[in-house]
Chain A
């Protein structure tokens, strides 16, 4: 697979996974053109998390930056609550989990790290190092940003057809 094709596939997976992730939380998001944002112009939204990944040909991290006003739209459980920082960490985890599931059909099995909060200094450093991709999504309360950094060999992506794997929301009883 050419680098351009592989890059396009990965971008599509990231964008569709992000839309699905926020939809599951009851928040509508719409992808914006990738070229709008530069690596060194990342907005310092209040909620920031990053999660690392690795696989043959893949090594890097995925960042998720969310304005606090967007988190205010998230449905909370009726008798308990959770904070924005915990939520953005789990959201980064679920976002990369979705991307991992979709990459399985391209014969890439990501190993996921544990999600961590991203300090403003770490965010600045990440932007200064240069990112592989910056993906912006419009919501009613501001823009959600997803960043991709690291090294990716797009030639390892080989479509193997639709895999028989579990999907989001599935409950498999043994």
Chain B
């Protein structure tokens, strides 16, 4: 999945957000809203690609799906030491199972969002975390 650079981001001060989701529908919808809010957006379509992009691009924040092929979001989260990396991660998923939410919290996630979310609320939540 190619990243979508916008011109403001290339100039320097714009924060990079990585969206990791196997659904193009979600990636495109969230990316559109974040770009409109001035963020630079990168995309990955599963957990393995997500780890690669984090290591290569050092995003300011990650939006992460749970159910994905190859490596799911919770397993990806547990492979990364996001607390010591000081990398905020928000899960964006249809899952509402309390045990999954607890697992994400234990692994250092900053929040859990249940699809579908209103994009303006999502952008506000992201701004509060990265600013």
State whether the Cβ of A100 lies closer than 8 Å to any Cβ in chain B: yes
A25 to B, closest residue via Cβ? B116
**Is A77 part of the contact surface with B, judged by Cβ < 8 Å?**
yes
In the complex, chain A residues whose CB is within 8 Å of the CB of B55: none
Q: Mark B29-67, 1 if CB is under 8 A from A, else 0.
A: 101110110000000000000000000000000000001
Is there contact, CB below 8 Å, between A172 and B112? Answer: yes
Q: List chain B residues, Cβ under 8 A from A94.
A: 94, 115-116
Q: How many residues of B contact A (CB 8 A)?
A: 38
CA distance A83 to B28 in the complex (A): 10
Residues of A within 8 A of B113 (CB): 170-172
Residues of B within 8 A of A114 (CB): 22, 67-69
A96: nearest chain-B partner, CB-CB: B94
Interface size of A by Cβ–Cβ distance < 8 Å? 35
Report Cα–Cα, A11/B14, bound state, in Å. Answer: 48
Q: A79-B35, A168-B114, A171-B111 are in contact. Are A97 and B94 (CB under 8 A)?
A: yes
> Are A166 and B114 touching (Cβ within 8 A)?
yes
Most B CB contacts (10 A, CB to CB) among A100, A101, A173 go to A173
**Given known A94-B115, A167-B114, A171-B121, contact A82–B24 (CB-CB < 8 A):** yes
Q: Choose the segment among A29-37, A84-92, A129-137, A141-149 that binds chain B (4+ C-beta atoms closer than 8 Å).
A: A84-92
Residues from 60 to 88 in A contacting B, C-beta threshold 8 Å: 77-83, 86-87
Chain A nearest CB, measured from B46 CB (Å)? 10
What are the residues of chain B within 8 A of A81 when measuring CB–CB?
28
**Chain B 69-86: CB-based contact to A (< 8 A → 1; otherwise 0):** 100000000000000000
- Indicate if the CB atoms of B29 and A77 lie closer than 8 Å: yes
Q: Which residues of A contact B32 (CB under 8 A)?
A: 77-80
Known contacts A80-B31, A82-B28; is-contact A170 B36 (Cβ 8 Å):
no
Which residues on A sit within 8 Å (CB–CB) of B101? 166, 172
**Would you call A101 and B28 a contact (CB within 8 A)?**
no
Select from chain A the residue with minimum beta-carbon distance to B129: A173
CB <8 Å contact, B67 and A82 = no
Instruction: Please tell me if A24 contacts chain B, counting CB pairs below 8 Å.
Output: yes
B125 to chain A, nearest CB (A): 5
Contact of A165 among B68, B98, B121 (CB under 8 A): B98
**Chain A interface (Cβ < 8 Å from any Cβ of B):** 24, 77-83, 86-87, 89-90, 93-94, 96-98, 100-101, 104, 109, 112, 114, 163-174
Residues of B near any A CB (own CB < 8 A) = 22-26, 28-29, 31-33, 35-36, 67-69, 93-98, 101, 105, 109-118, 121-122, 125, 128-129
- Pairs A-B, 4 closest by C-beta atoms: A97-B94, A77-B32, A90-B23, A80-B28
Known: A90-B24, A104-B96. 4 other contacts (CB 8 A): A167-B114, A171-B111, A172-B113, A173-B110
